[in-house]
Chain A
């Protein structure tokens, strides 16, 4: 019997998020001939992202475009998605493991009385049985899981599956007629876009992280310069956050965020086990530390023993030349 896969796609700053294309690809990995894929896009002024999404797979894009959905609010988004779910009965619903996906997926799971596997990093189809790999203890261990009966909800960690590329024939785009939610018990009062234009830490291809060795808030400046050259994001260790050098939003580790970029550059980070859990799945790890005995060197592919305030500006120069 053919199955229906639903990918709940997301935009940020008016652009389609890459993790949504990765979720589409995850659906491709899980599906078999004859299975249907529907992508749902919720938000406001979605024409551009809907077209981009449609180019990347064969199936259908359902667009729920409404001013009420301009910013994420749990109640309005679940109301919109529930309306969609009353017209489609998907076997599998896939979300990005983003702030929105992490909040929306368990609401859907609860309403559908379904199982959910969160933060999936790999998918394999083993003779129709779909197996999901996910980290536990922030990546100190991994588990393989299945949804009993095969149906349920998945959230997919960004940066782990190749995004879906252009399809031979694009998906059709259909507008979904959304009835605004009535009797809401919550309302958005204000949205402060501090991160506009910045690359999200969990989606960044390059992460430059600072530890206690950056010594102050100003100490992050050379790291930011390097991040700009590499189109990367700046992160931090718990030590740097606890010392007040930066916002907790930057923290990488078992508390904080788990990142899996192509290049991870740890600057002035000793490498406590709780930090290593958050970054050791990065493809290439570079460590810069004054202390040659720092544990971070044990997991680094390349190490430079030296003062980050000397090394980082030199690296910025070198990368600038290499990428020119």
Chain B
């Protein structure tokens, strides 16, 4: 079974966001595999352990993204592909088009990704990719079973669960709760260095930058107004509870 994972490198979720001259500063920032994509990597590895096959991790991003792909290789993925080119300046539509052009020449049974990325948070690329490849998909899955060309996935739908049966090839996006991702082992890290790692630019994909131009543009980037600490109530706990309700009525006017 050929299992592909599309992943993105993001800031660690504990990082603060500092904006200077309209850009987010990335000095000294710790990078991770987007947590939702990490569930996808783990699920791919578990499927491979059950059914055999190959796990290939694919990303679009700057050169530093290689580190996230190497982490996935250290977790147990077999091969990595980094689509990277200085002339890639696009949005979700363009990223999906790039991936679609890569997958156009691959043979895949399953493509896994995260439900959304914790940085941009738009949640578009994976679903757009499924459309471009004309394969069925299920998003926000918390369980996945594969057998004989069919997959059964359980989706999280705002607390409800929906079980969907899908013919392969298909694409799935991972929701929290799908699994508990493993840590890379030391032998895993050593082996990762020898695994195939392919870097592709626009030329190799046969795409010109014009065809993947952004369909949206950012005008402004800003931090939200900082919240100020309010008041710590005083007195016995029963008094504080009564005072809080009074303040919510008269001062905050939310009751």
* Residues of A near any B CB (own CB < 8 A): 12, 71-75, 78, 98-100, 102-103, 105-107, 109-111, 113-119, 131, 135-149, 152, 185-196, 198, 200-202, 241, 247-249, 251, 253-256, 262-263, 272-274, 277, 280-281, 283-286, 292, 297-306, 310-311, 314-315, 317-319, 322-323
24 contacts between A and B (CB under 8 A): A102-B116, A114-B215, A116-B122, A117-B122, A118-B122, A119-B122, A135-B121, A140-B223, A145-B216, A145-B217, A148-B214, A186-B165, A191-B162, A195-B158, A273-B15, A281-B224, A284-B254, A285-B230, A304-B237, A304-B241, A306-B237, A310-B237, A318-B241, A323-B255
**A147 nearest in chain B by CB position:** B216
Q: Which residues of A contact B91 (CB under 8 A)?
A: 115
Do the beta carbons of A284 and B252 come within 8 Å of each other?
yes
- Taking A186-B136, A194-B159 as contacts, is the C-beta distance between A141 and B222 under 8 angstroms? yes
Do the beta carbons of A148 and B138 come within 8 Å of each other?
no
A131 CA to B219 CA, complexed, in Å: 9
Do the beta carbons of A75 and B136 come within 8 Å of each other?
yes
Do the beta carbons of A311 and B237 come within 8 Å of each other?
yes
- Taking A99-B140, A191-B162, A191-B163 as contacts, is the C-beta distance between A116 and B216 under 8 angstroms? yes
Q: Which of B43-51, B61-69, B123-131 contacts A (4 or more CB under 8 A)?
A: B123-131
User: For this complex, into which size category does the number of interface residues on chain B fall?
Assistant: 35 or more
Do the beta carbons of B248 and A304 come within 8 Å of each other?
no
**A265 nearest in chain B by CB position:** B244
Return the CB mask of B87-111 against A: 1 if under 8 Å, else 0: 0000111001000000000000000
**A108 nearest in chain B by CB position:** B131
The verdict on B21 contacting chain A, using a C-beta distance below 8 Å, is no
A201 CA to B36 CA, complexed, in Å: 20
Do the beta carbons of A143 and B218 come within 8 Å of each other?
yes
Do the beta carbons of B230 and A300 come within 8 Å of each other?
yes
- Interface of chain B residues 190 through 234 with chain A (CB within 8 A): 214-224, 227, 229-233
- Mostly helix, strand, loop or mixed at chain A's interface? mixed
Q: Which residues of A contact B96 (CB under 8 A)?
A: 110
Do the beta carbons of B152 and A99 come within 8 Å of each other?
no
Do the beta carbons of B219 and A145 come within 8 Å of each other?
yes
- Mostly helix, strand, loop or mixed at chain B's interface? mixed
A292 CA to B233 CA, complexed, in Å: 11
- Taking A107-B127, A148-B216, A310-B237 as contacts, is the C-beta distance between A305 and B232 under 8 angstroms? yes
The verdict on B247 contacting chain A, using a C-beta distance below 8 Å, is yes
Do the beta carbons of B118 and A138 come within 8 Å of each other?
yes
- Taking A200-B159, A314-B237 as contacts, is the C-beta distance between A74 and B137 under 8 angstroms? yes
Q: Which residues of A contact B170 (CB under 8 A)?
A: 185-186
Do the beta carbons of B11 and A137 come within 8 Å of each other?
yes
Do the beta carbons of A318 and B159 come within 8 Å of each other?
no
Do the beta carbons of B159 and A195 come within 8 Å of each other?
yes
- Interface of chain B residues 240 through 255 with chain A (CB within 8 A): 240-242, 244-245, 247-249, 252, 254-255
| A129: min CB distance to chain B, Å | 9
New A-B pairs, 15, CB < 8 Å, besides A149-B215, A304-B232, A314-B241: A106-B127, A106-B131, A117-B122, A136-B120, A147-B215, A188-B164, A192-B162, A249-B158, A262-B254, A273-B13, A301-B231, A301-B252, A302-B247, A303-B229, A306-B237
Q: Which residues of B contact A193 (CB under 8 A)?
A: 160
Do the beta carbons of A144 and B137 come within 8 Å of each other?
no
The verdict on B35 contacting chain A, using a C-beta distance below 8 Å, is yes
Contact among A74, A196, A248 with B136 in the assembled complex (CB-CB below 8 Å): A74
**B123 nearest in chain A by CB position:** A102
Q: Which residues of B contact A283 (CB under 8 A)?
A: 252, 254
Return the CB mask of B128-144 against A: 1 if under 8 Å, else 0: 10111001111110100
Do the beta carbons of B14 and A272 come within 8 Å of each other?
yes
| B75: min CB distance to chain A, Å | 18
Q: Which residues of A contact B241 (CB under 8 A)?
A: 304, 311, 314-315, 317-318
The verdict on B81 contacting chain A, using a C-beta distance below 8 Å, is no
- Taking A145-B216, A185-B136 as contacts, is the C-beta distance between A109 and B93 under 8 angstroms? yes
The verdict on B156 contacting chain A, using a C-beta distance below 8 Å, is yes
**B115 nearest in chain A by CB position:** A102
**B151 nearest in chain A by CB position:** A186
Q: Which residues of A contact B92 (CB under 8 A)?
A: 106, 116
**A114 nearest in chain B by CB position:** B215
- Taking A74-B136, A115-B91, A116-B92 as contacts, is the C-beta distance between A140 and B17 under 8 angstroms? yes
